[in-house]
């Protein structure tokens, strides 16, 4: 039994892999991660940009698609769907053995649609209908415009990974979208699943930068503490939201908890432990999706202990101190959301440019 197995069996947290490459599907690398205890997989436009741009493994399929008349963008989605479909097959045994708790593979809608509710709904439906898999998560950004799309998709019985969450207030709104989506649906709810992806290390980087700019000893003493504290308070919101009579009425119809998922959990600051955002966010009914480097580090020297609810009071006090020094956490979250959406848009556009150049070279 690996430490990843223990993380799930003893502490109720599901470790997922935040990466995907076609070579891993064919070489057995992804299966190796599953054998070590990985219980799900997430992807995003940046992951696919790196995977497709850095590899020749996609060239044959891409060339065939272009020669058969596909546009560059349509060809991209076919490449993505092929990888996701293969990953879904590998993860399906975990889905079956866990009764639908884990074994999910996440694919994100076009990031350029993050501010367009209607287009997001259409794109999510299209991907879900194309891939048609019980263990598929469609990723929808948790922007203001994404909230009604999340509710609509849940009401249609589709499973959703809400991504790009940076604030506690928005997280609470996402939970409301999930619950109200379930309430809009009749009958048994057990086939619907969802996670809410709360981004961790990006918050730390931004807040630390602002604390450094303040420069006082009190500010510097608070560096490296905001992201974990915010994650812990998100867990408090989760516990409170899913313990009400309103929720129990849905649970009686088979509704599943919308588990908080800790994303962006690689440590950006080399001065901090490389497993910081795993070690300090362990607790029941949660998911942590980790890049392969962070997974390897946790396998090597991670620390197992229930830490997520060690002290909600201390976590709240840290955030209060940070804001008292002049760091506006609402402004931080809004900035990070804008940057997150923009980053995924840029990755998507860059990949289309790369594929256009590849199409030209393959046709010579």
Q: What is the pLDDT of residues 256-265, one digit of tens each?
A: 999 999 999 9
Q: What does the alpha-carbon distance between residue 359 and residue 364 come to, in Å, rounded to a whole number? A: 9
| CATH code of 164's domain | 3.20.20.70
pLDDT beyond 70 at 223? yes
Order of strands across the sheet that contains 194-199: 13-17, 286-290, 259-263, 194-199, 160-165, 136-141, 105-108
Q: Is 335 within the bounds of a domain?
A: yes
Domain, as residue range, for 28: 6-362
Q: Are 80 and 58 in contact (CB under 8 A)?
A: no
pLDDT beyond 70 at 73? yes
Percentage of the chain lying above the pLDDT 90 cut = 95
pLDDT grade for 364, boundaries at 50, 70 and 90: low
Range 234-244 average pLDDT: 98
**End-to-end Cα spacing for the chain:** 52
Q: Is 215 within the bounds of a domain?
A: yes
Q: To which residue do tokens 């946790």 refer? A: 298
Residues 6 or more apart in contact with residue 300 via CB below 8 angstroms: none
Q: What is the pLDDT of residues 182-213, one digit of tens each?
A: 999 999 999 999 999 999 999 999 999 999 99
pLDDT at 359: 85
Range 219-234 average pLDDT: 98
Q: Is 1 within the bounds of a domain?
A: no
What pTM, to 2 d.p., does this model score?
A: 0.96
Percentage of the chain lying above the pLDDT 70 cut = 100
Range 226-244 average pLDDT: 98
Range 36-58 average pLDDT: 93
Residue 290, both tokens: 């980790």
* Dihedral angle of Cα 243, 314, 321, 222, to the nearest 10 degrees: -120
pLDDT at 54: 84
Range 70-86 average pLDDT: 96
Residues tagged active-site:
139
Q: Is 299 within the bounds of a domain?
A: yes
pLDDT beyond 80 at 363? no
pLDDT beyond 70 at 247? yes
Q: What is the pLDDT of residues 270-279, one digit of tens each?
A: 999 999 999 9
Say which range, 140-154, 237-251, 283-297, 342-356, has the weakest mean pLDDT: 342-356
pLDDT grade for 361, boundaries at 50, 70 and 90: confident
How many domains does the structure of the chain reveal?
A: 1
pLDDT beyond 70 at 316? yes
Range 316-325 average pLDDT: 98
Q: What does the alpha-carbon distance between residue 297 and residue 233 come to, in Å, rounded to a whole number? A: 26
pLDDT at 125: 98
């Amino acid at each position: 039994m690996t430490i990843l197995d223990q993380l799930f069996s003893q502490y109720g947290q599901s470790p997922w892999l935040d990466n995907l490459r076609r070579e891993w599907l064919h070489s057995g690398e992804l299966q190796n991660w599953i054998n070590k205890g990985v219980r799900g997989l997430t992807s995003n436009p940046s992951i696919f940009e790196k995977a497709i741009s850095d590899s020749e493994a996609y060239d044959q399929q891409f060339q065939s698609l272009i020669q058969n008349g596909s546009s560059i963008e349509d060809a991209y989605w076919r490449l993505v769907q092929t990888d996701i479909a293969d990953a879904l097959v590998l993860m399906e045994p975990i889905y079956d053995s866990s009764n639908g708790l884990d074994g999910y593979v996440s694919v994100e809608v076009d990031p350029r649609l993050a501010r367009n509710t209607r287009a997001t709904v259409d794109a999510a439906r299209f991907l879900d209908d194309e891939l048609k898999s019980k263990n598929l998560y469609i990723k929808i950004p948790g922007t203001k415009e994404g909230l009604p799309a999340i509710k609509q998709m849940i009401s249609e019985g589709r499973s959703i990974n809400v991504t790009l969450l940076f604030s506690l207030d928005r997280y609470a709104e996402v939970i409301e979208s999930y619950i109200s989506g379930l309430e809009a649906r009749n009958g048994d709810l057990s086939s619907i699943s969802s996670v809410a992806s709360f981004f961790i290390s990006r918050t730390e980087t931004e807040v630390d930068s602002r604390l450094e700019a303040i420069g006082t000893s009190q500010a510097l003493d608070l560096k490296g503490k905001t992201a974990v504290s915010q994650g812990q308070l998100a867990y408090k919101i989760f516990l409170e939201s899913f313990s009400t009579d309103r929720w129990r009425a849905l649970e009686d119809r088979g509704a599943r908890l919308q588990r908080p998922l800790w994303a962006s959990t690689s440590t950006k600051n080399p001065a901090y432990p490389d497993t910081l955002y795993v070690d300090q966010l362990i607790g029941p009914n949660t998911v942590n999706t980790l890049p392969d480097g962070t997974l390897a580090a946790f396998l090597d020297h991670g620390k197992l202990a229930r830490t997520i609810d060690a002290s909600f009071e201390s976590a709240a006090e840290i955030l209060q101190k940070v804001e008292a020094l002049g760091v506006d956490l609402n402004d931080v979250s809004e900035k990070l959301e804008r940057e997150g959406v923009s980053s995924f848009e840029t990755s998507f556009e860059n990949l289309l440019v790369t594929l256009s150049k590849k199409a030209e070279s393959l046709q010579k």
